[in-house]
């Protein structure tokens, strides 16, 4: 920390602390020099995206688009739960409840060092990040192991609800809770104790909502993690559906194919999906020099006349306003993405003279943005899972940070387990490209089902292709900024 010295020295000190060139993104712990200018990566990815669209336009037709997604059954198509499977299910549910209970208790009475207390690493890294990636691989496992659902499942009468879930609420409760979650993550400066209070409050919200509207409705529409993990699970290569009498159908499919022939139920789910995308992009954007200069260097000379001095000289006074500015921008971000999305859909509608409304098009094409949201999330945060997520193994031996070593695995300090920085960057580029190509494919398949001819379908996707190209360039630009400092 730098103490506040008088005059210009204070400004220089604060500028040094705030300059984004010195800030490392989530993905990099040390500077890395790209083997070639980052704009070449961006242009190359854009070119690959355009090429994929051309290939689809020529070789992918309406007959292909109307076919159901291929699935390969695993084992017997109707797999009845055995006694061993039931015991394993009960064990996993018990472990989930125990982990969350331990997280709450350790935060309340344990060491308040963020890196020594079990609850910070478990919730923010292992659960919030790790569970997302598990859903992208293994499907909607969270439906069965949701800790709040598991906790309330024995109370059958309690979880039936006192009144029907209001149709007009749709997914808006999940949207509000998700926004609150990201606000706490980015601006809450949580410590173990405050995180435990947040988990207790969230548990109370779930209990009251289930008591009011019932378990089935609330965990479908209102519980934030249920909605988010269910969306991610649609892209998983493993698909399973529970059926009657304890039987389950398990099958394999191509990644992202679960989004084919899907339509968003409500515009609130579209806002939720867009916030998944915009909040991750915003978290990366706020670490760039562009964002820093937008406020603290006052390029439009708005603040300096009001303050009578350069904004950096008034850092202490402006800091709360800056935080409020960042929060407002975060909350507005999904609506900015929404209007951008609607504009490009409107442009496609104009090109094709389609009779479908823009609202209907947004519900039909909304799922095509989900792969982008997933790859943005992975590229920004997966190295946190490598560098800090594995600490859980050691923290289990000393969950309260009291110096215990219950299982002989206790650790102290950080475990920076990171692959080569070049490997990280190249993997991020490929992930961004794969996600956008998947989105182009899904959007083109939906266009072939929504428009009467292949020519109209291709025309309608020209504006959407431009949007995907913009997203690709912006995503790679944000990722590359910490490397340019």
- The answer to whether residues 98 and 235 belong to one domain is yes
Res 412: pLDDT? 53
Considering the domain boundaries, does residue 51 fall inside one?
yes
Spatial contact of 239 and 233, defined as CB atoms under 8 Å apart: no
Last residue of a domain, one of 204, 234, 253: 253
Is the predicted pLDDT of residue 110 greater than 90, yes or no? yes
Taking the C-alpha atoms of residue 131 and residue 141, their distance in angstroms, rounded to an integer, is 9
Q: What is the pLDDT of residues 201-233, one digit of tens each?
A: 999 999 999 999 999 999 999 999 999 999 999
Q: What is the DSSP annotation of 308-345?
A: TS-GGGGHHHHHHHHHHHHHHHHHHHHHHHHHHHHHHH
Is the predicted pLDDT of residue 17 greater than 70, yes or no? no
Radius of gyration of the chain (CA): 24
Residue 378: which residues within 8 A CB-CB, separation 6 or more? 133, 136, 431
Res 243: pLDDT? 59
**421 band by pLDDT with thresholds 50, 70 and 90:** confident
Considering the domain boundaries, does residue 302 fall inside one?
no
Considering the domain boundaries, does residue 19 fall inside one?
no
Res 246: pLDDT? 54
- The answer to whether residues 87 and 236 belong to one domain is yes
Taking the C-alpha atoms of residue 36 and residue 139, their distance in angstroms, rounded to an integer, is 38
Q: How many CB atoms lie within 10 A of CB 404?
A: 11
Q: 324-333, 349-358, 406-415 — which is least confidently predicted?
A: 406-415
Res 187: pLDDT? 94
**424 band by pLDDT with thresholds 50, 70 and 90:** confident
Is the predicted pLDDT of residue 24 greater than 50, yes or no? no
Q: What is the pLDDT of residues 250-263, one digit of tens each?
A: 889 999 999 999 99
Last residue of a domain, one of 207, 228, 253: 253
Res 5: pLDDT? 37
Is the predicted pLDDT of residue 403 greater than 60, yes or no? yes
Last residue of a domain, one of 229, 253, 277: 253
Which residue has better confidence, 109 or 153?
Answer: 109
Q: What is the pLDDT of residues 363-376, one digit of tens each?
A: 999 999 999 999 99
Considering the domain boundaries, does residue 85 fall inside one?
yes
**484 band by pLDDT with thresholds 50, 70 and 90:** low
Q: Which domain holds residue 232?
A: 72-253
Which residue has better confidence, 132 or 7?
Answer: 132
Res 83: pLDDT? 57
Which residue has better confidence, 307 or 1?
Answer: 307
Mean pLDDT of 392-415: 81
Q: What is the pLDDT of residues 232-280, one digit of tens each?
A: 999 999 987 765 455 667 889 999 999 999 999 999 999 999 999 999 9
Q: Considering its fold, how many domains does the chain have in total?
A: 2
Considering the domain boundaries, does residue 342 fall inside one?
yes
Res 142: pLDDT? 94
Taking the C-alpha atoms of residue 98 and residue 100, their distance in angstroms, rounded to an integer, is 6
Considering the domain boundaries, does residue 264 fall inside one?
no
Percent of the chain topping pLDDT 70: 86
Q: What is the pLDDT of residues 176-206, one digit of tens each?
A: 999 999 999 999 999 999 999 999 999 999 9
Considering the domain boundaries, does residue 190 fall inside one?
yes
Res 418: pLDDT? 65
Sign of CA dihedral 95, 101, 105, 111: positive
Res 475: pLDDT? 87
- The answer to whether residues 65 and 80 belong to one domain is no
Res 15: pLDDT? 39
- The answer to whether residues 58 and 101 belong to one domain is no
- The answer to whether residues 337 and 409 belong to one domain is yes
**485 band by pLDDT with thresholds 50, 70 and 90:** very low
CA-CA-CA-CA dihedral for 19, 22, 25, 26, to nearest 10: -120
User: Which tokens sit at 24?
Assistant: 């490392």
Considering the domain boundaries, does residue 260 fall inside one?
no
- The answer to whether residues 348 and 390 belong to one domain is yes
Res 9: pLDDT? 38
Taking the C-alpha atoms of residue 150 and residue 144, their distance in angstroms, rounded to an integer, is 8
- The answer to whether residues 90 and 205 belong to one domain is yes
- The answer to whether residues 79 and 64 belong to one domain is no
Q: What is the pLDDT of residues 54-109, one digit of tens each?
A: 999 888 888 888 888 888 887 654 445 565 667 888 899 999 999 999 999 999 99
End-to-end CA distance of the chain: 21
Spatial contact of 190 and 184, defined as CB atoms under 8 Å apart: yes
The DSSP code for 452 is: S
Is the predicted pLDDT of residue 29 greater than 80, yes or no? no
pTM score of the predicted model: 0.88
27 dihedral zone (left: phi>0; alpha: psi -120 to 50; beta)? alpha
- The answer to whether residues 44 and 111 belong to one domain is no
Residue 78: which residues within 8 A CB-CB, separation 6 or more? 243, 247, 248, 249
**16 band by pLDDT with thresholds 50, 70 and 90:** very low
- The answer to whether residues 77 and 127 belong to one domain is yes
């Amino acid at each position: 920390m730098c103490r506040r010295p008088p005059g210009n020295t204070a400004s220089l000190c604060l500028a040094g602390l705030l300059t984004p060139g010195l800030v490392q993104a989530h993905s990099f712990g040390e500077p890395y020099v790209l083997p070639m200018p980052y704009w070449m990566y961006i242009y190359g990815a854009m070119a690959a995206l355009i090429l994929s669209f051309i290939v689809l336009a020529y070789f992918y037709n309406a007959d292909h688009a109307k076919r159901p997604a291929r699935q390969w059954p695993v084992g017997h198509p109707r797999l009845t739960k055995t006694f061993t499977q039931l015991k394993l299910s009960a064990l996993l549910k018990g472990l989930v409840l125990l982990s969350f209970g331990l997280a709450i208790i350790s935060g309340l009475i344990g060491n308040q060092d963020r890196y020594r207390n079990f609850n910070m690493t478990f919730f923010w890294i292992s659960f919030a990040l790790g569970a997302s990636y598990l859903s992208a691989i293994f499907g909607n496992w969270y439906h069965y192991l949701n800790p709040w659902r598991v906790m309330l499942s024995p109370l059958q009468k309690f979880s039936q609800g006192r009144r029907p879930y209001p149709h007009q609420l749709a997914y808006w409760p999940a949207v509000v809770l998700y926004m609150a979650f990201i606000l706490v993550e980015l601006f809450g400066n949580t410590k173990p104790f405050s995180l435990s209070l947040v988990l207790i409050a969230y548990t109370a919200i779930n209990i009251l909502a289930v008591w009011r509207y019932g378990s089935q409705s609330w965990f479908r529409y209102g519980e934030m993690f249920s909605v988010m993990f269910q969306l991610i699970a649609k892209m998983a290569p493993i698909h399973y559906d529970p059926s009657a009498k304890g039987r389950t159908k398990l099958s394999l499919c191509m990644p992202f194919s679960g989004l084919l022939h899907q339509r968003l139920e409500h515009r609130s789910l579209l806002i939720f999906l867009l916030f998944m995308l915009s909040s991750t992009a915003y978290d990366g954007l706020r670490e760039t020099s562009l964002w820093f200069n937008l406020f603290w260097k006052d390029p439009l000379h708005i603040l300096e006349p009001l303050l009578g001095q350069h904004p950096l000289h008034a850092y202490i006074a402006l800091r709360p306003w800056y935080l409020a500015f960042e929060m407002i921008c975060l909350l507005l971000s999904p609506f900015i993405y929404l209007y951008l999305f609607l504009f490009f859909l409107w442009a496609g509608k104009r090109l094709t003279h389609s009779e479908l409304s823009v609202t209907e098009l947004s519900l039909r094409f909304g799922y095509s943005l989900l792969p982008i949201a997933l790859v943005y999330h992975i590229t920004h945060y997966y190295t946190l899972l490598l560098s800090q997520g594995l600490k859980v193994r050691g923290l289990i031996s000393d969950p309260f940070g009291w110096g215990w070593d219950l299982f002989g695995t206790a650790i102290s300090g950080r475990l920076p387990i990171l692959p080569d920085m070049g490997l990280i960057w190249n993997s991020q580029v490929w992930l961004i490209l794969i996600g956008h190509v998947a989105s182009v494919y899904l959007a083109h398949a939906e266009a072939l089902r929504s428009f009467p001819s292949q020519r109209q379908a291709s025309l309608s996707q020209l504006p959407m292709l431009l949007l995907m190209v913009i997203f690709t360039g912006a995503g790679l630009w944000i990722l590359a900024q910490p490397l340019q400092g």
